[in-house]
Amino acid sequence: MTPVRLDRRRFLLRLARLGFVMAGPATGALPLFRVPEAAAAPTPRPLADAKGKDPAALVRQAVGKLGGMARFVRPGQTVVVKPNLGWDRRPEEGANTHPAVLAEVCRLALEAGARTVRVFDRTCNDARRTYERSGARAAVEGLGTDRVRLEYVDEDRFEVVALQNATKLTRWPLYRPALEADVLINVPVVKHHGLTGLTASMKNLMGVMGGNRGRIHQGVEDNLVDANFAVRSHLVVVDATRILLRNGPQGGGTEGVRIADRLAATTDVVAADAWAAREFGVDPLSIATIRRGAERGLGVADLSRVPIL
């Protein structure tokens, strides 16, 4: 029987339909990424809640309640820590992940044996100013090791991905270092957002999305669920040490910032955002992204079903 021959274009299209991501130049080796499939009926996963004045201690306490960072990071792995570093704002203004939270997450990953910890965000304001003023650069450099790197996003490293199980965002450029990481730790800050009402872990993954992100805001709830199915957060550490209550996501000044001294850790982005909504002071199901995440099986929004540690 004569074998069927596929030309290169048909071969790549078939891989795309199977849920693989094509990366690399038009010639040469093609790295393949498998986009994870959706969970049909998610089982509630524990969420660790911590309260106190020391942000670093809160991180250690919450992650410890989940079994410690060694549960998520194994020796020799590459870890991506994805904070919210979108804005040229001081830590006390609540627009970015607190630098002490960021530093402690990186420190725990190092203690667990990570070979490399990469920290980045596709910022909205100038990246150099944002990294400096947010305190992120000082936090990373204060760790005193070249195993942790605060990186600027390289626009040439976004790859168009076929998103399996997507309802709206079927193809989108995603950041290859995030796809290639052994472990992705999502470290959002809890704050107001003029479009979605609230931004936390699900929306934080817009920082690994390329292209014209303004288009994502059209049908944003399903687009964000699609993106979170494609880029899985192995651990979420939610920074609610300060909560920006209005004029988000950028904010400005401290008048709209409430000192909450809270932090949570979980492996469920929907539960993480439901907890964030509760700390923000709204019904989680009033936030469309949380509601759609629960409806589509991304995670559990009903905190009464989530084991709170």
Judge whether 21 lies within some domain: no
State the virtual CA torsion across 173, 175, 179, 181 in degrees, nearest 10: 180
- Look at the chain and report how many structural domains it folds into: 1
pLDDT at residue number 164: 81
pTM attached to this predicted model: 0.87
Structure tokens at 106: 């990186």
Judge whether 4 lies within some domain: no
Positive or negative torsion for Cα 109, 111, 115, 120: positive
Q: Confirm if 209 and 162 have CB atoms less than 8 A apart.
A: no
* DSSP β-bridge partners for residue 192: 198
Judge whether 31 lies within some domain: no
pLDDT at residue number 40: 52
CATH of the domain at 123: 3.40.50.11440
Geometric angle at alpha carbon 261, from 53 and 209, rounded to 5° = 125
Q: Which one, of 202, 195, 193, 212, lies nearest residue 256 by Cα?
A: 193
Judge whether 19 lies within some domain: no
Q: Which domain holds residue 251?
A: 45-305
Tally: H helices and E strands in the chain: 10, 13
Tally the residues of the chain: 309
Judge whether 172 lies within some domain: yes
Judge whether 170 lies within some domain: yes
Judge whether 15 lies within some domain: no
Judge whether 6 lies within some domain: no
**In a structure prediction context, what are the per-residue pLDDT tens digits for the chain, which is 309 residues long?**
444 344 444 444 444 444 444 433 333 333 333 334 444 568 999 999 999 999 999 999 999 999 999 999 999 999 999 999 999 999 999 999 999 999 999 999 999 999 999 999 999 999 999 999 999 999 999 999 999 999 999 999 999 999 988 999 999 999 999 999 999 999 999 999 999 999 999 999 999 999 998 888 889 999 999 999 999 999 999 999 999 999 999 999 999 999 999 999 999 999 999 999 999 999 999 999 999 999 999 999 999 999 999
